[in-house]
Structure 1
């Protein structure tokens, strides 16, 4: 019914306007290799930003896509992201409740906090704290309760400090490679009402591991 892949940071899921006129690898270029005997290639059932790594769900056929899309729409699929933020959250856990709107018509996918925007909520938990290269860091587990564009990036930047490596909402240099420290670490999918959800996790990518270690990560990607 489905595949869950570990998408690399820096790989777009779809070919968008930024790829016009340029030869840029995208995930959809490789999906034919994942048919495994079915007549159609799988398709992404949700989205991840280009620079976000981790768990991405693919539906293997139209019936599967319909069921997965409904589960995502109903908010029944639990998603956990790991992020390294450059800051020091005052509380170890909480809820970010901050409406978001488009920053400008010219940058339709860039967002900003706006009380008149769409309701947006993210649960967070601090998993560790540390210092790397003289910068105070916090390792967060994030659970988006809504699915706005760049929600986690804007919520973190507005509440604690930018996610490490963020070119848009932080001060990371542009085009420096897949440096965003945001990773779709785990997902739980309730395929059957009579069974426990299917739970999948993906280990953090290499570019996040030094910052994670500075915050106390020991190499175990499971949430305890």
Structure 2
């Protein structure tokens, strides 16, 4: 946590666990903002989505992650074959995810695409940064949904579709456009940070193929901000 030394972990307790869907192979969970996906190294960072799910579903394993500050939908596998099948869908980009974010400033274009390679900003980890020499290719599609003035500041609500799945991709790509996500403790400037007590980024929808039936299935959850 080099970039955020004064961080105190206070995971939300209500709802403790919000399971959206469950079958024999997998479970889809709605993660609240402020809860780690997997346990951290320190003893006080053991409360996390994985451990909460494992209390009721001991075989559940993490296939992908959401940043602690991001809320929304996450798939966990309940069997090894399901874990392999879902991981393969991620590798082959067969899983579609849609996020909602409120960003600082007015997004001028109704829609667009960000193609900027990302790499870990090592001295300031866990922050990521754009690096055209060493970064990994990263693509995000965005669509403006509305504009609103909050406490005298212009903001835009955007729908974000990550084509790649890099760490902090949506946060850094929006920042690169000059529109940091509200409440982003790592990347927002003081004005954007002050407008929200949480990161206003929510994994609203996820669409994938059920491992056994190969049926395409889509889940969505309302945006909490």
Shared topology, TM-score over 0.5?
yes
Cα distance in 2 between the residues matched to 1:34 and 1:21: 21
Q: Which residue, 106, 118, 124 being the options, matches 1:107?
A: 124
Matched, 1:167 2:185: yes
CA contact (8 A) 1:128 1:139 kept: yes
CA contact (8 A) 2:110 2:144 kept: yes
CA contact (8 A) 1:122 1:146 kept: yes
Matched, 1:32 2:50: no
Unaligned runs of 5+ in 2: 1-24
Unaligned runs of 5+ in 1: 209-224
**C-alpha deviation, 1:101, in angstroms:** 1.7
CA contact (8 A) 1:31 1:41 kept: no
Match of 1:190 in 2: 209
CA contact (8 A) 2:40 2:46 kept: no
Q: Taking structure 1 as reference, are residues 78 and 130 closer, same or farther at Cα in structure 2, changes over 3 Å only?
A: same
CA contact (8 A) 1:48 1:56 kept: yes
CA contact (8 A) 2:82 2:211 kept: no
Q: CA RMSD in A?
A: 2.3
Match of 2:12 in 1: none
Cα distance in 2 between the residues matched to 1:130 and 1:94: 20
**Normalising by structure 1, what TM-score?**
0.81
Cα distance in 2 between the residues matched to 1:27 and 1:193: 25
Secondary structure of residue in 1 paired with 2:76: strand
Q: Deviations over 1:158-182 (max 9, x none)?
A: 11411000011103598xx960000
Q: Taking structure 1 as reference, are residues 23 and 119 closer, same or farther at Cα in structure 2, changes over 3 Å only?
A: closer
Aligned residues: 198
Cα distance in 2 between the residues matched to 1:165 and 1:11: 15
Q: Give the ranges of 4+ consecutive aligned residues of structure 1 lying more than 3 Å apart after TM superposition.
A: 192-196
Cα distance in 2 between the residues matched to 1:194 and 1:30: 28
